[in-house]
């Protein structure tokens, strides 16, 4: 874990240094003073709405494993995102599978499979929205000083992301459609391990495959619609903060902001996406014509809304379930 912390911290420090190098603190302070705080409330509500839709989508992903009510799904989701703010390498995803498995007495491996599948749907949805932005938005030409953000770079990121998430989806579908063959391949790959350890790993993989099924074809439609709903809500969240800084940008600009941040947050970073979040948000807003002071202050405020709201909700549900730090790190058992 400490190696993962170190790699993420190094990347976050580098991103934070680039952010502070590009955004003078005095200009950022002036922009923050001129901000209209009334927009914070709708911004916060839109962000929470994205979590509500996530939990609703998780219900459909969990149906082959168990019929789980909304409340435990939302609680586990928020505890997991709290974990992402405190633990390295997106380990909050493991945390929420552990928490839901513990509270609902369902297979943790199968639950984690639904989390993996959810992230693949997220990636494919983000790439779809990137395609929409590239087709319908008149993007500026040229690069932002100190970054590689251009229309061409966005297209390249889209193709790279399609290869990544498309390949991962095909791999996961192998477990769904050719489960016996996939297990044989895994059994062959695990032969060098001790028999007991290999048997335990195969049991976890078998349970993992349970979470990749869909209860009925209609579930796929709902998962697709709710995935789109999550990211449109997040695009609206990013857009809603523009008027607070006097920016006259449309919803398509909010979608571009969220797409770039989603791609940037795939990069390893310190917990809570410190540095990478700020640099991606500020660079995107500068790319769309905002001053560096406004871009930097916008990035800071958006990150604070994310960090504070996620942590408060996560800590509340952690307390309600009587869990502590051991549960958050997945070592309570």
| pLDDT at residue 177 is higher than 80 | no
Quickly state the pLDDT bin for 130 (edges 50, 70, 90): confident
DSSP 139: P
- Select from 254, 19, 300 the least CA-distant residue to 147: 19
At residue 330, the pLDDT reads 55
> From CA 310, how far away is CA 272, in angstroms rounded?
10
R_g of the chain computed on alpha carbons: 21
Mean local confidence (pLDDT), 167-177: 70
Q: CA 118 → CA 45, 60, 86, 300, distances in Å? A: 22, 10, 21, 28
pLDDT, position 307: 97
* Banded pLDDT at 183 (limits 50, 70, 90): confident
pLDDT at 332: 42
pLDDT in tens, 200-241: 776 766 666 666 666 566 788 898 899 999 999 999 999 999
Per-residue confidence (pLDDT) for residue 1, from 0 to 100? 54
Query: What's the whole-number mean pLDDT along residues 77-98?
Result: 90
Return mean pLDDT, the chain. Answer: 85
Mean pLDDT along residues 55-68: 92
Residue 77 has pLDDT above 90, yes or no: yes
Using 50, 70 and 90 to split pLDDT, how confident is the model at 321?
confident
- pLDDT at residue 64 above 50? yes
Mean pLDDT of 188-197: 74
For the purposes of burial, counting CB atoms within 10 Å of the CB of 2, is it exposed (0-12), middle (13-18) or buried (19 or more)?
Answer: exposed
User: pLDDT higher for 284 or 198?
Assistant: 284
d(CA 158, CA 126): 9
Distances (CA, A) of 130 to 28, 46, 289, 332: 29, 20, 19, 40
pTM of the model: 0.86
Model pLDDT for residues 293-316, shown as the tens digit of each residue: 999 999 999 999 999 999 999 999
What confidence tens digit (pLDDT) does each residue in 29-60 have? 999 999 999 999 999 999 999 999 999 999 99
pLDDT at 140 over 80: no
Going by C-alpha positions, the residue among 120, 122, 113, 116 that lies closest to residue 66 is: 113
């Amino acid at each position: 874990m400490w190696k993962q912390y170190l790699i993420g911290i190094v990347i976050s420090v580098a991103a934070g240094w680039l952010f502070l190098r590009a955004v003078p603190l005095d200009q950022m302070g002036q922009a923050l003073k001129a901000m209209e705080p009334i927009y914070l409330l709708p911004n916060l509500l839109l962000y929470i709405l994205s979590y509500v839709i996530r939990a609703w989508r998780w219900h459909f992903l969990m149906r082959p494993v168990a019929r789980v009510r909304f409340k435990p799904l939302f609680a586990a989701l928020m505890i997991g995102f709290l974990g992402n703010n405190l633990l390295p390498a997106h380990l909050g995803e493991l945390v929420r599978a552990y928490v839901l498995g513990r509270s609902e007495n369902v297979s943790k491996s199968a639950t984690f499979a639904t989390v993996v599948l959810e992230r693949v749907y997220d990636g494919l949805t983000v790439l779809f929205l990137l395609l929409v932005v590239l087709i319908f938005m008149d993007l500026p030409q040229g690069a932002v000083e100190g970054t590689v953000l251009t229309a061409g770079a966005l297209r390249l990121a889209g193709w790279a992301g399609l290869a990544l998430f498309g390949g991962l989806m095909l791999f996961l579908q192998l477990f769904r459609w050719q489960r016996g063959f996939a297990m044989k391949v895994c059994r062959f790959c695990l032969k060098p391990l001790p028999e007991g350890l290999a048997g335990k790993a195969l049991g976890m993989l078998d349970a993992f495959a349970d979470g990749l099924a869909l209860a009925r074809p209609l579930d796929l439609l709902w998962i697709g619609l709710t995935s789109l709903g999550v990211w449109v809500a997040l695009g609206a969240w990013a857009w809603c903060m523009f008027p607070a800084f006097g920016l006259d940008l449309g919803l398509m600009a909010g979608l571009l902001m969220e797409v770039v941040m989603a791609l940037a947050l795939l990069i390893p970073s310190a917990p809570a996406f410190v540095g990478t979040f700020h640099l991606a948000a500020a660079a995107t807003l500068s790319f769309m014509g905002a001053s560096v002071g406004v871009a930097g202050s916008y990035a800071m405020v958006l990150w604070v809304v994310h960090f504070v709201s996620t942590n408060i909700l996560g800590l509340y549900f952690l307390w309600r379930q009587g869990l502590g730090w051991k549960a958050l790190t997945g070592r309570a058992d």
